[in-house]
Every structure is written in structure tokens, then in C-alpha cells.
């Protein structure tokens, strides 16, 4: 409690540094965020959630995911796709302006996609590899020519890549320069007014926003790294929303508190036990199966989330996803785990409580967990207990998020390898909303499997994935995705523990027009502005 009190005092001190107008104005909303997201331009933001969500308040993509994660036209008012699926002709909304008042045109769109091909970005550059050319025949029209039909082009590319102002970014020509660039002129509903590194962001509604009036005059985003402090701040009225899902044990307490509303829905973010498949011992499927059998995911969900979660599917995809392959079940069994280890020759040869390989190497591993995520820390402790019971020693190493990322996914680039044994990890909701995410997650090429952080290799997965990305028929997509999930369930390159429900609490007096995005929560552009009329 003393630690929480000290952290709460720090939060109050941070809020005190924000100009009074930023808090007192009618229409100002305060949202506690968990980390510094750089300057908020597309090359400096840090995380898929909440970073991308906040960044896209400042920058618009061509499409944007609606409340059901379907990509809807945003900067675009008309779309024509050729019968072969390779030519996309988009007509932009007129009167879209950058925050400096200059018009946004097709030249900016063309520039953006050519830019991310040259100045690489781990999230967006891979989505442009199927582009054969881009044309801007007039200021309102842009034509994309694809090398092959692309199942994920609308959602993975057009609804994800933020459009950059050519007149500002054309002089920024290297990755290092882009990461150091602090200009945040975008076209989104909010413009950046103030950034204090490690403390807060202040955004103001852009009065000339093309889609119509912005519902909130100002956003103040204090950086609150401690989850408990962020929730305490909501209760105390120091902030109006925490972007973090509410801890399960707090739900009833928040529901009883006057002035606070609680919303709940399925969460597509995953919590995983990630294996490093380049580790000489963890390459053994028998060992991975034994570990998975020892981990009681049903009990974990009850203990950690009080039932506010869905047990993970061994094929990765959430049961609420339209691409979920039904019938893939994994029933944990300690007895089966022990039998697998015994049969594989992993035995405790020196009676120290830890099994060894036939060559004498002990089954001893380090398990990473992020300090900012208390549920993952507690999950890691449960894993340690359960694996100790079957003779596998686990050293839980808790580190800050940046340090864990540096070991698991250095520079967000799987081509740079990995330096870990096991990690509590997870992917944000957008990874669950499209079938081609299975390709990103599990293809063996680091240029294609851009989030294959475990180094998984399976030739059949590669072949199916390459079919999937050029398949546009939705039924065929589901068939291929189901085949891939079945293989993943057999190979266990990762053990999916659970998908926690998204439960968010907010102070309704400040803002009560939040839109719940399925699988993710209320921190979405849709909570602040209505979709453009076509």
C-alpha cells in the first residue's frame, strides 16, 4: 500500500505539470496510458496497443476498423477493385487537410507507401511487399497495382498504414532520421499540442477535421506505468479512463462506485507461453507437449482472471473470430506430462528434483515476464510451480517491457534473432482479426513471418500461408486458416494460455460516448468522431 501511495503522489505531481486549461476545460478527457509512445508520429510510437490507437488519433489511414473490426473507408469515399483483385482504385474525400492547413492529396498517399518501402518499418514495410506500383492520376485518385491478389490488403495494409504528409517527410530519408523525427503534423481528429517525455501528452481537437466535429475538445494522456495507480486514479477522479483492461478483482468494486461505468466484451489480446524454438532443448516437441500438459489453463483462468477470460485455443485463434477452427482442444494432464518426460528419457539422475536429458543437461529454463503486467507475473509464478511438480526448473525473471522486448523481439525485427528460453507474451487484438495473421505469426521466413518471435519452422505452414495471402474467397480463406491452426495445435510452437475479457471503467461525466471495439476496448478513434459519410 505504501508503494501505491507513493506512485499515486507521483501521478498527482505529473498532472500538476499539465496546464490548468488542459484539465478544467469543458470537454477535456484524461486517459492514463501505460508507457511513453515517443513523439506519436508513425516512426516513434512504441506499441500495437495503446500506441497505434493513440497514433491514429493524430494520423489517418485510408480505411479504419469499425466496432466489429471490419475495415471501413475513412480517407476514402469510393473504392473500385478489378475482377482479378490486382487493381484498387480509391477516390479520396475532398477537403481533407493536414494540421498545418495544406490539403491531403493522392500524392501524399503515393508518397507514404513508397516511403515505407524504402525507410523500413517492422509493421508496415512487410504489408507493401505485394505492391507492384502506385499511381496518382489526379489529386483525389490513387491507384494501387498488386503483384497478386491479397487477402489482407484492405485490413492489413489500407486500414493500418497511416498516411504521411509528403511536404514534411520527403526530406527524412533514413530509418534513424525517421525514428528521431519529432514532427507530428497529421490529418487525424486530434493534433499534438504538447509532449513531455515520460510524463504526458496533450492533444486538441482539430477544428477543420473533414469527417465532422470531434466530440472531445482535448485529450490529456498522463503516463502511468503502474496498473494499480492508474485504476486508483480513475476511482479518485484524477483521470477519466485507464487504457488498461480492469483487473478482474476490481470489477465489482468499480461497478458499485457512483459516477463510474464499466463496460465488458470479448478480448482478442492473447496471453501466451512463448517458446524459443532455437533453444536446443525446446526444439523437442515432446518437451513442449509435456510443459503444455503441466500448465493448467482452466485453473489459471480462474485464479488470475476470476473467470473473465476464455481458455486459449492450441491453434492460436480466438473462438469468437470468424476464422476460428473448431474442435481443437488441449486438455492439460499432469500424469500425461510425466509420462511424456519419462518416455523421452528426461529423468532426475542425481535426485536434485530437476530432470536431466540423457546427456545430463538439466531441464532448467528462464521465463521472462513484464514488470508492467501483474497478471503475467502471477501467471509465470504458476507456471514455475506446475513445472517444478514435474521436474522442470524455472527461474522467473521480471523485467520492464522494453527489456523483455529487447530479448524476445529486438528492434521489433525477428530477423535479428532472439535471446530467451521462455517468455510470458501476447499479441494485441488486431493480430486476431485477420486470417493472414497466421502467416505473420508462423511463416519461417523472417521477411514474411514478421512476428514469428519463436523462430518456428514448418514447410507445410509456409506453403499454406503463401496460399492464404493470395486467396480472396472468404470460405477458402477459412479452410486454409483451419488447416494452419491444426498444424500449429500439433506442433505447439507457442502455448496459448488465455484471452482475457476486456473490462474497462470510465467516468461518464467527462465523456459517455465511448464505442467498444470488439476484442480491444474503447480506446478507438470511433469514440471521438463519427465515421465519414461517403
DSSP string, 234-252: HHHTS-SEESSPPPGGGHH
Among 60, 119, 63, CA closest to 88: 63
CATH number at residue 308: 3.10.105.10
Going from the C-alpha of 224 to that of each of 58, 421, 439, 491, the distances in angstroms are 21, 30, 34, 39
Q: Total domain count for the chain?
A: 3
The C-alpha atoms of residue 438 and residue 313 are separated, in whole angstroms, by 13
Residues 276 and 413 in one domain: yes
Q: Which domain holds residue 141?
A: 63-179
Cis peptide bond prior to 337, omega within 30° of 0 = no
43 within some domain: yes
Residues 318 and 365 in one domain: yes
156 within some domain: yes
CATH number at residue 117: 3.90.76.10
What mean pLDDT is reported for the chain? 93
Per-residue burial over 97-128, b if 16 or more Cβ lie within 10 Å, else e, is ebbeeeebbbebbbbbbebbbebebebbbbbb
Residues 250 and 275 in one domain: no
Answer yes or no: pTM beyond 0.85.
Answer: no
Of the residues 160, 179, 198, the one at which a domain ends: 179
Residues 69 and 209 in one domain: no
Residues 69 and 13 in one domain: no
Residues 336 and 403 in one domain: yes
Residues 279 and 393 in one domain: yes
Return phi, psi of residue 323, to 5°: -105, 10
Q: Please report, in tens digits, the pLDDT of each residue of the chain (534 residues total).
A: 444 444 455 455 555 555 544 443 348 999 999 999 999 999 998 788 899 999 999 999 999 999 988 899 999 999 999 999 999 999 999 999 999 999 999 999 999 999 999 999 878 898 898 999 999 999 999 999 999 999 889 988 999 999 999 999 999 999 999 999 999 999 999 999 999 999 999 999 999 999 999 999 999 999 999 989 999 999 999 999 999 999 899 999 999 999 999 999 989 989 999 999 999 999 999 999 999 999 999 999 999 999 999 999 999 999 988 899 999 988 899 999 999 999 999 999 999 999 999 999 999 999 999 998 889 999 999 999 999 999 999 999 999 999 999 999 999 899 999 999 999 999 987 788 888 999 999 999 999 999 999 999 999 999 999 999 989 888 999 999 999 999 999 999 999 999 999 999 999 999 999 999 988 899 999 999 999 997
Residues 52 and 82 in one domain: no
Residues 36 and 173 in one domain: no
Residues 282 and 325 in one domain: yes
Residues 332 and 462 in one domain: yes
Residues 345 and 424 in one domain: yes
448 within some domain: yes
The DSSP 8-state label assigned to residue 154 in this structure reads I
E-assigned strand segments in 66-165: 71-73, 76-81, 87-92, 131-138, 141-146
533 within some domain: no
Amino acid at each position: 500500500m505504501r508503494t501505491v501511495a507513493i506512485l499515486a503522489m507521483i501521478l498527482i505531481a505529473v498532472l500538476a505539470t499539465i496546464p490548468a486549461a488542459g484539465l478544467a476545460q469543458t470537454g477535456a478527457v484524461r486517459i492514463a496510458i501505460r508507457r511513453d509512445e515517443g513523439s506519436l508520429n508513425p516512426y516513434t510510437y512504441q506499441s500495437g496497443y495503446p500506441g497505434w490507437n493513440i497514433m491514429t488519433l493524430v494520423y489517418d489511414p485510408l480505411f479504419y476498423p469499425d466496432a466489429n473490426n471490419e475495415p471501413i473507408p475513412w480517407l476514402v469515399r469510393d473504392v473500385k477493385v478489378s475482377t482479378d483483385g490486382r487493381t484498387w482504385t480509391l477516390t479520396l474525400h475532398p477537403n481533407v487537410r493536414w494540421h498545418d492547413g495544406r490539403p491531403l492529396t493522392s500524392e501524399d498517399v503515393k508518397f507514404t507507401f513508397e516511403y515505407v518501402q524504402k525507410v523500413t518499418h517492422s509493421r508496415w514495410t512487410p504489408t507493401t511487399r505485394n505492391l507492384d506500383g502506385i499511381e496518382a492520376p489526379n489529386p483525389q485518385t490513387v491507384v494501387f497495382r498488386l503483384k497478386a491478389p491479397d487477402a489482407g490488403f484492405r485490413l492489413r495494409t489500407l486500414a493500418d498504414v497511416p498516411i504521411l504528409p509528403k511536404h514534411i517527410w520527403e526530406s527524412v530519408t533514413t530509418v534513424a532520421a525517421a525514428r528521431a523525427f519529432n514532427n507530428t503534423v497529421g490529418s487525424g481528429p486530434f493534433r499534438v499540442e504538447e509532449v513531455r517525455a515520460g510524463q504526458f501528452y496533450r492533444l486538441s481537437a482539430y477544428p477543420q477535421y473533414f469527417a465532422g466535429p470531434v466530440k472531445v475538445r482535448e485529450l490529456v494522456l498522463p503516463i502511468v506505468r503502474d496498473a494499480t495507480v492508474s485504476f486508483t486514479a480513475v476511482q479518485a477522479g484524477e483521470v477519466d479512463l485507464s487504457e488498461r483492461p480492469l483487473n478482474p478483482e476490481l470489477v465489482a468494486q468499480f461497478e458499485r462506485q457512483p459516477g463510474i461505468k464499466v463496460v465488458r466484451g470479448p478480448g482478442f489480446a492473447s496471453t501466451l507461453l512463448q517458446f524459443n524454438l532455437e533453444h536446443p532443448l525446446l526444439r523437442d516437441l515432446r518437451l513442449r507437449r509435456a510443459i503444455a500438459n503441466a500448465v493448467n489453463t482452466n485453473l489459471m483462468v480462474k485464479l488470475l482472471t476470476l473467470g473473465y477470460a476464455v481458455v486459449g485455443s492450441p491453434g492460436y485463434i480466438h473462438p469468437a473470430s470468424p476464422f476460428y477452427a473448431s474442435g481443437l482442444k488441449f486438455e492439460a494432464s499432469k500424469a500425461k506430462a510425466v509420462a511424456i518426460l519419462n518416455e523421452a528419457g528426461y529423468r532426475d539422475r542425481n535426485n536434485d528434483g530437476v530432470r536431466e536429458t540423457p546427456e545430463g543437461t538439466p531441464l532448467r529454463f528462464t521465463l521472462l515476464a513484464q514488470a508492467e503486467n501483474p497478471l503475467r507475473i502471477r501467471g509465470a509464478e504458476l507456471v514455475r510451480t506446475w513445472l517444478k511438480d514435474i521436474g522442470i526448473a524455472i527461474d522467473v525473471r521480471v523485467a520492464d517491457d522494453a527489456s523483455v522486448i529487447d530479448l524476445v523481439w529486438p528492434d521489433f525485427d525477428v530477423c535479428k534473432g532472439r535471446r530467451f528460453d521462455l517468455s510470458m507474451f501476447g499479441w494485441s487484438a488486431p493480430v486476431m482479426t485477420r486470417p493472414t495473421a497466421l502467416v505473420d505469426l508462423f511463416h519461417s521466413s523472417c521477411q514474411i513471418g514478421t512476428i514469428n518471435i519463436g523462430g518456428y519452422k514448418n514447410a507445410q505452414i509456409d506453403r499454406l500461408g503463401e496460399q492464404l495471402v493470395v486467396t480472396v474467397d472468404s470460405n477458402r480463406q477459412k479452410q486454409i486458416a483451419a488447416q494452419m491452426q491444426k498444424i500449429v495445435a500439433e506442433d505447439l510452437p507457442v502455448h496459448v494460455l488465455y484471452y482475457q475479457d476486456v473490462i474497462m471503467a470510465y467516468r461518464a461525466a467527462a465523456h459517455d460516448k465511448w464505442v467498444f471495439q470488439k476484442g480491444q476496448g474503447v480506446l478507438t478513434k470511433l469514440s471521438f468522431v463519427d465515421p465519414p459519410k461517403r
